[in-house]
Amino acid sequence: MNNKILVFGCSGTVGLDFINVNKNKNILYYSRKKPTIVNKKLWRYIDLNKKITGIPNNVDKIYFLASPYYKLENLKKNIFLKELSWIKKIKKKIKTRVFIYLSSSSVYLNKHPVGSAKLACENYLIKNKKKNYLQIWRPYNLVGNENLNLSDHFHNILIKKFCIERRRDHHFKGSANDERGYSSTKKFCKLLINKSDLNKDFIYDYGNSKTIKVKEIANIFKKIFEKKFKKKIKYTFNSNIKNINTINLNKNVKSFDTKDNSYNIIKKYYSLKIKLYEK
């Protein structure tokens, strides 16, 4: 076994911030699209839907961050189980001392396409774990300032509707009083890397108990957008059923509660993103 580190899925939000915080140069990043921030000597093309060739077969660590994008069209097609076939290919091809898997807090949701696929992946990894260490992370509501593709999470839908589609008003299906607890992806990646040095198996929840209401998120966006573009926008919500999406203290799973300021995280995100759509 060599001390090489492999990262699969480096072009997503978590993968991009992983590149930013990682200091280890004995590493190879794999994805279909090459991120501009990664040194070309450290990047390799891979399509996990196809036959895998030309990769090391014995390494120190594997970070598996790859997953189909969280988009409404993917939810409708229910393609998230592709991830299980990707993991099976990697596990059969490569031996590793530590396998770090990026799961999701959606495993706690009933019959959710992403959660069901992530649980299937977790169960496969646990069942097929041999002498290697297995570390599973279930993050809630990560926000990273680096991304190549906007997901269909609420904070990004605002950007899509008003910055990309150039709408002046939009009607959201959820409640204005829904709550989210956001955490920094970069901060998460630092912990992910530090904990990977532990010679132990674990499953960790990672999130933020300090929430922000959806209407506050929309108001932050509105204020920055209108100041930047000198245009008025409006939005409404059609549900009175409040939904809270934040970390729960699960007695059966260890948790990291960041207690970050969700308001500041969202404000910084929009301040950086909205200006990208200025003409």
DSSP string, 204-262: EEEE-SS-EEHHHHHHHHHHHHHHHH----EEEE------EES----TTSEEEE----H
Q: Chain centroid to CA 196: how far?
A: 18
Model pLDDT, residue 250: 66
Model pLDDT, residue 73: 74
Q: How many domains does the chain have?
A: 1
Domain range enclosing 109: 5-277
The answer to whether residues 154 and 218 touch, using CB atoms and an 8 Å cutoff, is no
CATH number, position 157: 3.40.50.720
Tens digits of residue pLDDT in 170-208: 999 889 999 999 999 999 999 999 999 999 999 999 999
Q: Which stretches in the chain have pLDDT values below 50?
A: 1
